[in-house]
Amino acid sequence: MRAATIREGEILIEEHPDPVAGSEEVVVQVHAAALNGADMMQRRGLYPAPAGSPQDIPGMEFAGEVIALGAGALRFGVGDRVMGIVGGGAQAELVVAHERVLMAVPEGLDWQAAGGLPEVFTTAHDALFTQAELRPGERLLVHGGAGGVGTAAIQLARAAGASVTASVRNEALREQVGALGASVIAPEGFAEHGPFDVILELVGAPNMAENLQALDTGGRIAVIGVGGGAKSEINLLALMGKRARIHGSTLRARPLEEKALVARRVEREVLPLFEAGELRVPVAETFPLDQAAAAYARFAAGGKLGKIVIVL
Ligand SMILES: NC(=O)c1ccc[n+]([C@@H]2O[C@H](COP(=O)([O-])OP(=O)(O)OC[C@H]3O[C@@H](n4cnc5c(N)ncnc54)[C@H](OP(=O)(O)O)[C@@H]3O)[C@@H](O)[C@H]2O)c1
């Protein structure tokens, strides 16, 4: 099979042996695989794939068609449309995944949207509802609102009855982010728009001190992205005084059991909203596999709404 391949910090297209399904795994013919910040870091040698995943083929989320079943794989049949998250290896013609991390593609969702759904909607749902325990009527602030996770989080929170504010630095995208259901603000001076019950931090350290000011008593901060920096100084007295919580998380390093539970929650609580037409995956641009390097350059350039997707 052909696959995007990391060679000395560059993305090339190379031939690899076809992957084979192990016990309870399936082989999927990939139709779409989206890019994520983690791929950018992996390409630079800063974020190796977990053990058991291909180290040189990037790609953590995909959608495609089941073409072969490993021993004991029962959840799907050959020809089923599936999507999911893997530790790596998705930006390829074929990928192997454990059947428990796969989800059926909702009726009516096209390949490019399905290929850009799993990582960001799972991350946003897990951070907002499982970790930060966002409730209907609460006020949410999403930093980095125009990106993949941000656009997912805004829609999920709105659908759950929260009121959503999003900070977006690219002025040209503010109207489109607003159309997803958020009041959109510039990042500068965001605390003036508070207080907030929950803050989803997708940018990182530069916001943390002001996040504490912007938080209401009992507020929660979910730290999910640190592209803007990882180290910051915060006032612990303010954290105590507000009886606030700061929570951090990653998905990639979790054991299979936890990944499967998270996927079941997304199946129950998110996919029906796609079927009802209440959610969408904003796709900024698609690239064929042959132009994977250009897809990486586009992602790295920023200033996009939603996802960059490789289509096969
Ligand atoms: N912990 C996890 O499990 C997990 C899972 C998925 C993603 N992540 C991380 O979460 C972050 C968001 O993911 P994503 O897929 O949404 O990425 P994305 O599509 O690249 O979106 C990031 C957004 O943040 C904005 N942004 C970046 N740096 C900024 C800064 N210094 N000031 C203001 N805005 C800034 C970007 O604006 P521009 O377009 O203008 O640059 C973009 O709109 C990434 O760091 C990613 O690695 C973590």
CATH no. for 2-117+252-311: 3.90.180.10
pTM for the model:
0.98
3-state secondary structure the chain: CEEEEEECCEEEEEECCCCCCCCCEEEEEEEEEECCHHHHHHHCCCCCCCCCCCCCCCCCEEEEEEEEECCCCCCCCCCCEEEEECCCCCCECEEEEEHHHEEECCCCCCHHHHHCCHHHHHHHHHHHHHHCCCCCCCEEEEECCCCHHHHHHHHHHHHCCCEEEEECCCHHHHHHHHCCCEEEECCCCHHHHCCEEEEEECCCHHHHHHHHHHEEEEEEEEECCCCCCCCCCCCHHHHHHCCCEEEECCCCCCCHHHHHHHHHHHHHHCHHHHHCCCCCCCEEEEEEHHHHHHHHHHHHHCCCCCEEEEEC
Determine the residue of 203, 232, 251 to mutate for testing ligand 1's pocket, defined as the one with the most ligand atoms within 8 A of the Cβ atom: 203
114's tokens: 């399905």
Residue 248: per-residue pLDDT: 97
- Would you kindly state where each structural domain of the chain is located, as residue ranges? 2-117+252-311, 120-248
* pLDDT of the residue at 253: 86
Parts of the chain with a pLDDT under 70? none
Question: Given the CA of residue 38, which atom of ligand 1 is nearest to it?
Answer: 47
Distance 145 CA to ligand 1 centre (A): 8
Query: Rounded to whole angstroms, how far apart are CA atoms 269 and 155?
Result: 13
CA distances from residue 23 to 26, 54, 118 in whole angstroms, order as listed: 9, 17, 23
**What would you report as the CA-atom Rg of the chain, rounded to the nearest whole angstrom?**
19
User: What architecture does CATH give domain 120-248?
Assistant: Alpha-Beta Complex (3.90)
pLDDT, position 3:
98
Lining ligand 1 with CB less than 6 A are 36-38, 119-120, 123, 144, 146-150, 169-170, 187, 202-203, 224-225, 227-228, 249-251, 302-304
CA of 146 to the centre of ligand 1 (A): 8
List CB contacts of 242: < 8 A, sequence separation 6 or more.
212, 215, 216, 217, 218, 219
Is 120-248 in the same CATH topology as 2-117+252-311? yes
Give the whole-angstrom CA distance, residue 210 versus residue 199: 11
Nearest to 141 by CA among 215, 79, 43, 86: 215
Residues facing residue 29 across a β-bridge: 65, 94
Q: What is the pLDDT of residue 208?
A: 98
The residues facing 245 across adjacent strands are 220
